[in-house]
Amino acid sequence: MRDYVEIGIGREARRTYDLDQVSLVPTRRTRSSKDVDTTWHIDAYTFDTPLVSHPTDALATPEFIIEMGKQGGLGVINAEGLWGRHRDLEGAIAQVTSNPQDLSNLQQLHAAELNEELLSERISQVRDSGVTVAVRVSPQRARELAPVVIKAGAEILFIQGTLISAEHVQQGGQPLNLKEFIGTLDIPVIAGGVADYTTALHLMRAGAAGVIVGSGVNTNAETVGIDVPMATTIADVAAARRDYLDETGGRYVHLLADGDIHTSADIAKAIACGADGVVLGPVLAQAAEAGGKGYYWPSTAGHPRFPRGIIEPVGSALAEVYTPASAAAARVELSLEVVLHGPSNDPLGQLNLVGGLKRAMAKCGYTDLKSFQKVGLAIR
Amino acid sequence: MRDYVEIGIGREARRTYDLDQVSLVPTRRTRSSKDVDTTWHIDAYTFDTPLVSHPTDALATPEFIIEMGKQGGLGVINAEGLWGRHRDLEGAIAQVTSNPQDLSNLQQLHAAELNEELLSERISQVRDSGVTVAVRVSPQRARELAPVVIKAGAEILFIQGTLISAEHVQQGGQPLNLKEFIGTLDIPVIAGGVADYTTALHLMRAGAAGVIVGSGVNTNAETVGIDVPMATTIADVAAARRDYLDETGGRYVHLLADGDIHTSADIAKAIACGADGVVLGPVLAQAAEAGGKGYYWPSTAGHPRFPRGIIEPVGSALAEVYTPASAAAARVELSLEVVLHGPSNDPLGQLNLVGGLKRAMAKCGYTDLKSFQKVGLAIR
Amino acid sequence: MRDYVEIGIGREARRTYDLDQVSLVPTRRTRSSKDVDTTWHIDAYTFDTPLVSHPTDALATPEFIIEMGKQGGLGVINAEGLWGRHRDLEGAIAQVTSNPQDLSNLQQLHAAELNEELLSERISQVRDSGVTVAVRVSPQRARELAPVVIKAGAEILFIQGTLISAEHVQQGGQPLNLKEFIGTLDIPVIAGGVADYTTALHLMRAGAAGVIVGSGVNTNAETVGIDVPMATTIADVAAARRDYLDETGGRYVHLLADGDIHTSADIAKAIACGADGVVLGPVLAQAAEAGGKGYYWPSTAGHPRFPRGIIEPVGSALAEVYTPASAAAARVELSLEVVLHGPSNDPLGQLNLVGGLKRAMAKCGYTDLKSFQKVGLAIR
Amino acid sequence: MRDYVEIGIGREARRTYDLDQVSLVPTRRTRSSKDVDTTWHIDAYTFDTPLVSHPTDALATPEFIIEMGKQGGLGVINAEGLWGRHRDLEGAIAQVTSNPQDLSNLQQLHAAELNEELLSERISQVRDSGVTVAVRVSPQRARELAPVVIKAGAEILFIQGTLISAEHVQQGGQPLNLKEFIGTLDIPVIAGGVADYTTALHLMRAGAAGVIVGSGVNTNAETVGIDVPMATTIADVAAARRDYLDETGGRYVHLLADGDIHTSADIAKAIACGADGVVLGPVLAQAAEAGGKGYYWPSTAGHPRFPRGIIEPVGSALAEVYTPASAAAARVELSLEVVLHGPSNDPLGQLNLVGGLKRAMAKCGYTDLKSFQKVGLAIR
C-alpha cells in the first residue's frame, strides 16, 4: 500500500510528500464563509480557532499570550526560555535581535539560570487575564518543572522536544517514562514532536491528549537529516489516531501540526491532511504583540551546543514579491487581531489567517473542521 | 484510470499537472501559419481569435474593450470594479499604482458605492462602438446587477467568482440558484471559475453557454490552498463537456481557461488540453490601451477583507532576461494590436500572441482550434 | 512500452526527459583519453570531431568557419543571414550588439535584400581555404538558393527550419517536396529540426543524409509551446534510424542534436542518447573568431515578425559562479582552438570540449562514438 | 527490481537518487546522544569518528592533518599536490586564492616538478606527531610514488582518481593492475572513486580495504556528464560489499562516501544509505587549520589541461541565509575542533559535525554506526 522505491540495490525508501506539494480540490457545493465553524474542542477546553502559537520567546510575551487567547487561539509559554531567566525580557530580546546573523547572544541568554519564581510570576500574570494557560516543558526537565508551572496556573502542559519518543532510552540515566508521568498529572498533556505512526501511537497509549507532528524547526533537515514530510506524516499520525480510537473504543487524541505552516493555505492543507489544530510560528511574528519585534526564531535556536533554527526577519517569505525590509517594517505594526482576523491588504495568505481558513473550507463546501479532513487532495 | 498516490497511510491524492509541465509534440505534416483559422464561435457570436480579457480594471478602459473587439477578441467589463464607482477612472487608477506594494488604495476604491448610472453610461459607450459587449458580475450581486448591465447593452454575461458552484449553500440566505437565474435571461452566460469535473458539469446543466476553468488569480494557492492544476483541470472539464454533449444529444458548452496563461505557448497548450478559448491577464497589460498603465492586478485584488492577487509591474515575467524596469518602460508604449498580432521584437512569446498560436498549430499540422485539441502532449 | 500518464480525464501525455536529467553511468574498465577516437564520417566526408556549429552569424564569420574546419569540426554558413545582405558584416553585427536587449536591429538587418553575388563571394572565400563547406538554407527558399550556394562551393546542404516536415502543406502554394528536391541534388542534405520519430523517418525516406533533432532555439517553449525534450527525442529518432536502416538494408542516416548542448558533458550525453554528432551554439561564441564578439543569438532571432531566441552575452551560463561581465570579458579573447581542444582553466565543461568528450568516453570505457551510444544512463 | 524508465523508444535509464532527496525516518525509541558511539575500525586502525578529509591542499597543511587525527578523524595528504612541489606552501596557496575566479595559478603551481625529498620530509613531520598517516596517490603515479610515501611514513594508502577501475586499459601503455599492485604492499589500500556496483566489486576483489564512492568533485557533471547519484550509488556499493562478504566468507570492505556531503545531516544520510565513513571537503575548510585560508577546491582543480572543481569561498553554502562575505570571515577563525565537536552557533549543520551525527543517530534510536545503516528512509 505504502509507496516504496528501491533507491539502490536492496535499499528502499518511502515516497513522501510536503504540504507545498498538496493542494485542495473543491468538488462540492460552495458555502458561505459565514457559515463555517472553526471551533476546536480539546479536553475541557474550547477555542474559536484551532490555532496554537509555537512556544518561542520570539512570540510569547505575556501580552501576546493573553491576546492570543482573546483572539480565539491558544498561546503557549516556553518554561525553559527567557521568561524565567531574565527579568528584563525586552532588554534580553533586544540583545538577540541586535545581531540576528549570530545565535551566540541567544545561546548565552539561555545559559542563564532558570528562576522558578520569576517564571511563576509571569505565568500567574497570564492566568489572571482569564485566558487558557498552556506551558511547554522539555522531556528532560518535565519532572522538575511541571509541578512549578502547574502550581503557577498552567492548564495544559506541552511536553515538546524537536522529536521525542514515549520512552527515551539512556544508559545509566533516569529518562522520562511518559506514561507514568502523565498518569501523575491532573491536566491534559500535549506531547511531541513526532515524525511517524509508531511513535505517535506510543504517545497516545502513554495518555497524551494531543500529539504534535513535526519538529517545529525549519533547519532540522540540515542538522540531523530528519526532514519531516508534513503531508505524509500528518496523514500517518491521523491513521494512528484512528487506530487508537478503535483500540480504545472512543478515545480521540488530537493532532497538532508544527512545521512548514506559513499561510492560511498551509493551515487549511494541514487540516485537510488530518490535523485537528496547527502550531504557528513566523507568521504570528508579524503581530506587534510578538516578542521578537521584527524577528522570529524557534525555541530550539537557543540550544547552547546544538542550536537549530535561524533568527529570521519577519516577512522574509515575501522577499520575492516585496523588498523584505519595507515589508517587515510594515508588518510589525499590525495587531495580532489583524493577523488572525483581518482586515487584510495581503494577498499571499499571511494576514486574516482565520478568514483564509474559513474561505478555503467554504469554497470546498465544508462547514466544520472534522469533516474538512476528508476534502479531496491533489499533488504535483 | 486516474493516477492516485497514497500520500500517507489511508490518505490519497490525485497526481495533477500544470500547463508549464506540458509541451506540444508535432507529429504531422507542418502547415503554413497563413492557412490556420483561429475563428471562435460561441452562441450567436463569432470572434477571429479565442482570446478574452480578464475582467479587471487593470485592463478594461472603454478604449481597451473597444480595441479588444476590433482586434478580434472579446474584452470583458467588470461591473463591480471601478467603472461604476469613480467618474475619474484615470485618477482612481493613478492612486492604485502610486504605491503598488500596498493593496489598501485599491481596496478603498472598491469600497465606494456602485453608481449604476455611471456604470451603464460607460457600458453604453462601448456598445455604441459596435463591438460585442461582455460584462462580468459576481454570483453575489448577479440578480441585482444583471438587469442593469443587460439594459445598458451587455450581450454576454460573465458570472464569475474565483471559484463558484452551481448551487451555493448559505444558512438563512438566498444564494443564487444559477439554473433558475440563467433561465430568466435572454443572453448567454459564461460562468466560473471551476476547478473540477463535477462542478463544471453542474454549471453546464444549469444552462451556462461557457464554463471558466481556473480562478484567474495567481495567489489563490497561498490564501486558500486551492491551486488549480490547469492542464489537468482543463482536461477534466473537457471530459465534462463531452459527457454533457452526449447527455444532451448535442449541446456544446465552451471551456475558457483563466489561469497561468502568460505567453502564446500557454495559449496553445491550454487549447491543446481542451480549452475552446483562453482568458488573458498580465500579458494584455503590455498594451498602451490597458487601464493599469504599467501594472496589472486581477479583479479580486480589491476585495475589502480578503484580497487575492498582487499588483505586479508589467513585464515582471521577463525579469530574468531583461531588467524589469526597462522592459516595462518599453512595453507600455505598445498597442494592443502589436501585442495580439505583432510585429514582434519579443522572443519569449509575449507579443504577437495570435501569430504564436497560429505558428504552434501550423508546426503541429493543425488548421482549426477544435482539431488542435487532439495534438500530442508530452510532460516532464 | 512508452510511458504515458493521464494528465486529466481521458487525456494522455507522454513522460519525456531532458539532457540535464540524464547522467552517464561508468560500469566498464576505464580507458585512456588518448586511445579515444572521435572521428565522424558522414557521406564522403570525415571529421576529427562530431561537432557542428549552429548556422548563425553570431558564430559564422569566414574566419570562424575556416578555423572550425581546421580544428576538426564542421562550420555551417547561414545563406539567409547577414553574409549576403551586408558587405560591412562587422558593422552590421556591431549594430546588433549595441543594444542586445532589443531584437529590432537584428530584425531590420535581416530585412535587407539578399545579394546572391555577395553571398557567393563569401562562400567561395571559405571554399578556397580547403575546409569542407556547409551552407544552411530554409525550406522556404531552398529551391531558389540551393543552386546558388552549391555553385559557390557548398559541399553539404543544411535544410533547416526550427521544426520542419518532409512534406509541408500549404493551400494554394507550392511548398517544398523534400524527397523530390533532394533527388535533384548532387550533394548530401542534412535536414531538420525534428521533434519526433515519425517526421524523422519521413525525412530519412526523403533521402536526407542526416537529420537534425531539436529546434536549435532555447525559447521555442515560450513562443509555440514545443519544448523538445532532447534526451527522449534523440532516442526516438535513433529508433527511426535503426528502423530505416533495417527497412533499407543498410542506409545509415546521421542524427545531429541541436538544442540544450552547452558543455562537454552535454555533448557526451547527446551521443549517449543516440546522436552521431552535435550542433553547438553559445559555447562556441566564446571564441575570438566568432562573429558575435561577446554575444550569441540563434539564426531565428532575426525573423521579422516572429523572432525566437534572445541575444545573450557569452558566458551567461556561468553567472551563478562567476560574474558574467568578467567571465564574458575573459572568454572572448580565447581562440576556437582553446574552446575545442584546450588547455582549459574552466572547470565547468565549457572549454576543451573535445577533451571533455574524450574523457567522458574513456571514463566509461569506450573508444569510439558508435559504441558509446550504448553507455549506461541514469536519470533523476 | 531496479527501477528503469524508457526515456525514448528502446532506450532505458535507471532512476537514481541524490542524498538531498533522502531523509531519515525516526521510528524507534530515542536515545541520548551521549550513548552514541561513532567509533570506526578499519584494518588495524581505530578512529573516534568515521570522518576523513578530502586529499586537497585547500585542507591539508601538516597542522591540519595532525589536528584532524587529534580530533578523532583521518586527514589525507595528497602526494601529488603542492606539498612536494613548493617549499613555501603558504606562499603558493596565497597565489591560488589571490584570484579565485581563475584556476590558472593553481594549474601552474601543479606543473612544478615533484620533489620527493620535500614531500617525504613533510609526511615525516606528520608521522612524528603520532597520528595515523594517510597519503593519496593517483593510479597513474601509484607505482612510482607509493614506495616513497610508505617509506616516509604512510600507514594507509589512498589510490584515488575522480573515477577509476580495477584494470585501466591503455593501448601500448602499462597501466596499473590494482590487484597485482595491492598484493605487493604491506599497508591497507583505499581505492576509488567508483560510481557503480561492478567497479566496486572489482576493487574489492583487487584487495582494497576500502572503496571510495563518488568523484569528490562537484563539477564532474558539467565536464564529463557523470554525475554520481550518491544515495543510489552508496546503496549499490553497499550491496557489492555484502556480496563480496558472502563470496569471501567474511572479508568486510569499507565504503567511504566522497561527494555532496556538506552538513552533519549529509554525513548521517550517507551512513544511512550504507557508507562506513565519509570524506569531507568544503565543510572542513571552515577550520583555521585548513590550508585554503577561506577557500576550498578539490585536488582535481589543478589539473593542467582538464581541471574539474572550482575555487569556492568558504561558507558559500550559507549564501541564501547570511551574506557569504561576513559568514566566510566569521568562519575561518574557527578551530577544527569547533567544526567537528562544537560548541556551535550554526543552525545549519555545518559546525559540530560529530554532534549532529550523534544527534541524528540518537533521535532515530541507534547507538552504533553499523546498525544505523538500517534506519528508515524517505524520499521526496
Q: What is the pLDDT averaged over residues D85-114? A: 93
pLDDT higher than 90, residue D220:
no
If we measure between CA atoms, which residue out of A176, A162, A166 comes closest to residue A207? A166
D157, containing H or E segment: strand D156-160
Sign of CA dihedral B197, B201, B202, B204: positive
pLDDT higher than 50, residue A321:
no
| Chain C residues within an 8 Å CB radius of B352 | 305-306
Answer yes or no: are the C-beta atoms of C236 and C198 closer than 8 Å: no
If we measure between CA atoms, which residue out of C205, C198, C277 comes closest to residue C239? C198
Helix ranges (H only) for C206-229 are 220-224
Q: Can you give D187-222 as a three-state secondary structure string? A: CCEEEEEECCHHHHHHHHHCCCCEEEECCCCCCHHH
Residues B88-116 pLDDT 10s: 999 999 999 998 888 889 999 999 999 99
Q: How many CB pairs under 8 A join B and C?
A: 193
3-class secondary-structure state, position D110: helix
pLDDT at residue D169, as a whole number: 75
Beta carbons of D378 and A198 less than 8 Å apart: no
Report the distance separating Cα C378 and Cα D16, nearest Å.
6
* pTM score of the predicted model: 0.93
Is the pLDDT higher at D323 or at D112?
D112
Q: Can you give chain B as a three-state secondary structure string? A: CCCEEEEECCEEEEECCCHHHEEEECCCCCECHHHCECCEEECCEEECCCEEECCCCCCCCHHHHHHHHHCCCECEEECCCCCCCCCCHHHHHHHHHHCCCCCHHHHHHHHCCCCHHHHHHHHHHHHHCCCCCEEEECCCCHHHHHHHHHHHCCCEEEEECCCCCCECECCCCCCCEHHHHHHCCCCCEEEEEECCHHHHHHHHHCCCCEEEECCCCCCHHHHHCCCCCHHHHHHHHHHHHHHHHHHHCCCCCEEEECCCCCCHHHHHHHHHHCCCEEEECHHHHHECCCCCCCEECCHHHHCCCCCCCCCEECCHHHCCCCCHHHHHHHHCCECHHHHHHCCCCCCCCCCCHHHHHHHHHHHHCCCEHHHHCCCEEEEC
Whether the CB of D310 is below 8 Å from some CB of chain C: the reply is yes
What DSSP assignment string belongs to D265-293?
HHHHHHHHHT-SEEEE-GGGGGBTTSTTS
Helix ranges (H only) for C274-311 are none
pLDDT at residue C327, as a whole number: 45
Question: How would residue A101 be classed by pLDDT, with cut points 50, 70 and 90?
Answer: confident
Minimal-distance CA residue of chain A relative to B305: A343
Whether the CB of C3 is below 8 Å from some CB of chain D: the reply is yes
Q: For residue B98, give Cα distances in angstroms to A315, A360, B71, B311.
A: 22, 31, 30, 11
Helices (H) and strands (E) in chain D, counts: 14, 16
Question: How would residue D323 be classed by pLDDT, with cut points 50, 70 and 90?
Answer: very low
The answer to whether chain B touches chain C by having 3 or more C-beta pairs less than 8 angstroms apart is: yes
The distance of Cα A274 from the centroid of its chain, to the nearest Å, equals 15
Residues C6-60 pLDDT 10s: 999 999 999 999 999 999 999 889 999 999 999 999 999 999 999 999 999 999 9
Answer yes or no: are the C-beta atoms of B178 and B159 closer than 8 Å: yes
Report the distance separating Cα C178 and Cα A333, nearest Å.
71
Beta carbons of A239 and B107 less than 8 Å apart: no
Cell of B375: 495534438
Report the distance separating Cα C360 and Cα D220, nearest Å.
10
pLDDT at residue B103, as a whole number: 87
| Lowest mean pLDDT, pick from A28-37, C24-33, C217-226 | C217-226
Beta carbons of D222 and C363 less than 8 Å apart: no
Minimal-distance CA residue of chain B relative to A234: B8
If we measure between CA atoms, which residue out of C61, C123, C68, C12 comes closest to residue C277? C68
φ, ψ (nearest 5 deg) of residue C279? -100, 125
Q: For residue D269, give Cα distances in angstroms to B321, D20, D224.
A: 38, 9, 26
The share of chain C scoring above pLDDT 70, in percent, equals 94
Question: How would residue A218 be classed by pLDDT, with cut points 50, 70 and 90?
Answer: low
Strand A22-25 relative to strand A376-379, pairing: antiparallel
The answer to whether chain C touches chain D by having 3 or more C-beta pairs less than 8 angstroms apart is: yes
Question: How would residue C282 be classed by pLDDT, with cut points 50, 70 and 90?
Answer: very high
pLDDT higher than 70, residue C232:
yes
Cell of D209: 580495504
Cβ neighbour number for residue B37 with a 10 Å cutoff: 12
CB-based burial, A214-252: b 16+ in 10 Å, e otherwise: bbbbbbbbbbbbbbbbbbbbbbbbbbbbebbeeeeeeeb
How does DSSP classify residue C114?
P
Residues C294-343 pLDDT 10s: 999 998 888 887 888 888 888 744 433 333 344 444 555 789 999 999 98
Beta carbons of C223 and B17 less than 8 Å apart: no
Whether the CB of C359 is below 8 Å from some CB of chain D: the reply is yes
The answer to whether chain D touches chain B by having 3 or more C-beta pairs less than 8 angstroms apart is: no
Strand A210-213 relative to strand C312-313, pairing: unpaired
Burial of B288 (0-12, 13-18, 19+ CB in 10 A): middle
> Shortest Cα distance from A142 to chain D (angstroms)?
16
pLDDT at residue D324, as a whole number: 37
pLDDT at residue D218, as a whole number: 67
D336, containing H or E segment: helix D336-341
D105, containing H or E segment: helix D104-111
Q: For residue B4, give Cα distances in angstroms to A377, C5, C81, D370.
A: 10, 11, 51, 37
State the number of CA atoms in the 13 A half-sphere of B364 facing the CB. Answer: 31
Beta carbons of C274 and D169 less than 8 Å apart: no
Whether the CB of D18 is below 8 Å from some CB of chain C: the reply is yes
Locate the domains of chain D by residue range: 4-379
| Chain C residues within an 8 Å CB radius of D167 | 29
Beta carbons of A22 and B9 less than 8 Å apart: no
Nearest to D344 among A8, A101, A305 (CB): A305
Cell numbers 440563467: residue: B182
State the number of CA atoms in the 13 A half-sphere of D48 facing the CB. Answer: 13
Q: What is the pLDDT averaged over residues A246-272? A: 96
Whether the CB of B231 is below 8 Å from some CB of chain C: the reply is yes
Q: Is the peptide bond before A216 cis (omega within 30 degrees of 0)?
A: no
State the number of CA atoms in the 13 A half-sphere of D145 facing the CB. Answer: 26
Assign domain C4-379 to a CATH class. Answer: alpha beta
| Chain C residues within an 8 Å CB radius of B236 | 8-9
Whether the CB of A238 is below 8 Å from some CB of chain B: the reply is yes
Cell of A271: 487540516
Is the pLDDT higher at D148 or at A327?
D148
Report the distance separating Cα C150 and Cα A146, nearest Å.
92
Cell of C35: 586511445
Cell numbers 481556473: residue: B214
| Chain C residues within an 8 Å CB radius of B378 | 13-16, 229, 232
D120, containing H or E segment: helix D116-129
Residues with Cβ within 8 Å of residue C177, at least 6 apart in sequence: C167
What DSSP assignment string belongs to A138-158?
-TTTHHHHHHHHHHHT-SEEE
Answer yes or no: are the C-beta atoms of A229 and A16 closer than 8 Å: yes
Whether the CB of A321 is below 8 Å from some CB of chain B: the reply is yes
Cell of C169: 502543406
Residues C178-204 pLDDT 10s: 999 999 999 999 999 999 999 999 999
Question: Strands (DSSP E) along chain C, which ranges?
Answer: 4-8, 11-15, 22-25, 40-42, 45-47, 51-53, 76-78, 134-137, 156-160, 189-194, 210-213, 254-257, 277-280, 295-296, 312-313, 376-379
If we measure between CA atoms, which residue out of D16, D18, D21, D23 comes closest to residue D265? D23
pLDDT higher than 90, residue D230:
yes
What mean pLDDT is reported for chain C?
91
Cβ neighbour number for residue C316 with a 10 Å cutoff: 15
If we measure between CA atoms, which residue out of D302, D283, D280 comes closest to residue D93? D302
Mutate to test the interface with A, among D19, D198, D348 (most CBs of A within 10 A): D348
Cell of B219: 495567489
> Shortest Cα distance from B29 to chain C (angstroms)?
5
pLDDT at residue B320, as a whole number: 37
| Chain B residues within an 8 Å CB radius of A380 | 15-18, 229
Cell of B104: 489598501
